[in-house]
Each structure stands twice: as structure tokens, then as C-alpha cells.
Copies of this chain bind each other. A is one copy, B any other.
Amino acid sequence: MSATITYALTPVGVVRSSLTQRDEAPKQGTEGAPDAWLDVTPNLVVGLDGLVVGQVIIVVTWFHQARRDVLKVHPRGDLNLPLTGVFATRSPDRPNPLGLHRVQIFELAGSKLKVGPLEAIDGTPIVDIKPVLAESADS
């Protein structure tokens, strides 16, 4: 069973944002999050070739401040909502605290991309960037 294997995830960049505290970040980008910069590791810049301003992308982050030992949470931190399995929520607390953020590209400047809206806080590691597929709403 591959569950005993571990894979090494290496950040490809970092989020630069005016949000600095987890408790001040909106739960989702669409809930009033600011624009932010994706600061991509310089030696990976060639991997950005083909991205264009206006395009919608999925940024995959690693919630470095999340708890990985939590399997149930109150959705949105609302104690009035019943405890729910983390895989049925978008809580950052989960075994592998990966975040998916659908954002638009507003500016491309070498290894830096201005995007938004993005609810990830300043310093959040970026682990992948993907285009949104035309034929599917996601993914």
C-alpha cells in the first residue's frame, strides 16, 4: 500500500500578499480576498512560458500553518455546524494541507505574476500552477 511512502514536495515559489495572519484571511478568494503576487523560483521561470494576462489558473499551495493531524472540523470554523470529515470540507487543516486557488492573471513580470483574488497569506509556499481547462469548469 503506497500510504507508507512519502513524496518530497518542493515549493516552486511563494505568495507575496498583504494578508499576513491566517485569521484575517477570507475563507475563499471570492469572499473579498486581495490580489497578490506569485513569486516563482527564478530557475523555474521557463515553466511559465505560455501563460498570458487575463488567463484563469489554479494555484496549488501548501498551507504551512495548517494542522495535519485533524480529520474532522466544524466547516468554516462555525461551531454551529456539525463536525465534518476534512475531505468533505475545504479546511486548510487536513493530512496533506494543499490549497487550490482559482485566480486570474493580471500582470506577468518575469518570475512574478500578479493574480487575484487570493486568500492565501504572505509566505505561503506555491507548489504548482495549472491552467484551467476550457472543457471543464474546474479542475
Chain A contact residues, CB within 8 Å of chain B: 1-3, 5-14, 28-30, 41, 44, 46-51, 57-58, 60, 62, 64, 71-72, 83-90, 94-96, 98, 100-102, 123, 125, 127-133, 135-139
Contact = CB atoms under 8 A, between A and B. Distances in A.
A135 to B, nearest CB: 6
Given A85-B48, A88-B49, A102 B10 contact: no
Given A72-B47, A85-B50, A95-B47, A58 B12 contact: no
Contacts of A6: 8-10
Contact of A48 (B14, B87, B137): B87
Contact of A98 (B44, B98, B102): B98
A51 B87 CA distance: 8
B135 A28 contact: yes
B11 A9 contact: no
Contacts of A10: 3, 5-7, 95-96
16 contacts: A2-B123, A3-B10, A3-B125, A7-B9, A8-B8, A12-B96, A30-B136, A47-B87, A49-B83, A49-B88, A50-B85, A51-B87, A58-B138, A94-B128, A98-B127, A132-B138
